[in-house]
Amino acid sequence: MIAARSSRQLRRWLVGILAMALATLLAPVGAAHAAGDVPVPPNTGLTDKGTGTMSQADKDFVIKVRLAGLWEIPASNMAIEKSDNERVVNIGKSISAQHVVLDQLDRDAAKKLGIELPNQPNGDQLSWLAEMKAANSTTFDQIYVDRLRAAHGKIFPAIATIRASTRNDSVRKLAQQANQFVLTHITLLESSGIVDYAALPTAPPPAPVNKGPVPMDGQILAAASSSSVPGVNTSVILLVLAAALVAGVITTMRIFRAR
């Protein structure tokens, strides 16, 4: 009786081990963990010495950050003065104050890199400011929120491109900082509850397979489809191991059953 009970317990134990082993072997490699808190980029590892090759795109980025402040600060000051919506007024206060900080960071970087910055908004920005100035308290909020939301949405992917590609450490740090400001401003503007999402520009069509945004060459494709053993697929190895494990457990159970 004791022997039979021990045999049943052993079989349950072996079946449990088999199930766990199979789950481990057949689970996708690098399975995602449960989502936790949203990570905040650490302020480490970024130098600011002005070293590294600077491209024309880098220079254009530094100039555009300056241009953004030249019209968004007065636009946000108008929001403080003209809007009857307390939420829009507070959004204007936040964006204006934060752009003053970003503008100083941009001017510091430009001075270090020898980039000449503009002191006046460009033609489009001047027309947007004129549009806001002519608006009354009823129409102002929608114009202000939509104009700034569209502008931030346009520069957002450009910042990501510079952050990922620049060789210059000061431009890299400025892109990191600008990314945080712009994402905050997008979120603030959307908190108004009046963003006209249907009027925003749509994303470009996706690139053809194997054409981006991550470059895929022959070596990457070969590494992704093969294991560490040349010519042997990872899934084949897992299936062989699973089959061997099943066979071993069945054999062990038969031996104990005979006893």
Q: What is the pLDDT of residue 218?
A: 55
Q: Which of 76-80, 84-88, 147-151, 210-214 has the lowest mean pLDDT?
A: 210-214
pLDDT band at 217 (very low <50, low <70, confident <90, very high): low
**pLDDT value at 31 more than 50:** no
Q: What pLDDT, on the 0 to 100 scale, is given for residue 151?
A: 96
DSSP SS3 for 50: coil
What is the rounded distance in angstroms from the CA atom of residue 219 to the CA atom of residue 221?
A: 5
End-to-end CA separation in angstroms for the chain: 13
Statement: residue 241 has pLDDT above 60: no
Taking 80 as the threshold, does the pLDDT of residue 179 lie above it?
yes
Asked if residue 172 lies in contact with residue 114, where contact means CB atoms within 8 angstroms, the answer is: no
Question: At residue 222, what is the residue type?
Answer: A
Domain 56-195 has CATH 1.10.150.20: no
* For the chain, percent of residues with pLDDT exceeding 70: 66
**45-49, 69-73, 196-200, 221-225: which has the highest mean pLDDT?**
69-73
Please determine, for residue 33, whether its predicted confidence score (pLDDT) is greater than 80.
Answer: no
Rounded CA separation 188/176 (Å): 19
pLDDT at 123 over 90: yes
Closest by CA position to 188, among listed 77, 103, 93, 85: 93
User: How many CA within 13 A on the CB side of residue 38?
Assistant: 0
pLDDT band at 16 (very low <50, low <70, confident <90, very high): low
* pLDDT: which is higher, 199 or 20: 199
For residues 183, 186, 191, 196, the Cα torsion angle rounded to the nearest 10 degrees is -150
pLDDT at residue 28 tops 50 = no
Task: Give residue 82's pLDDT.
Answer: 97
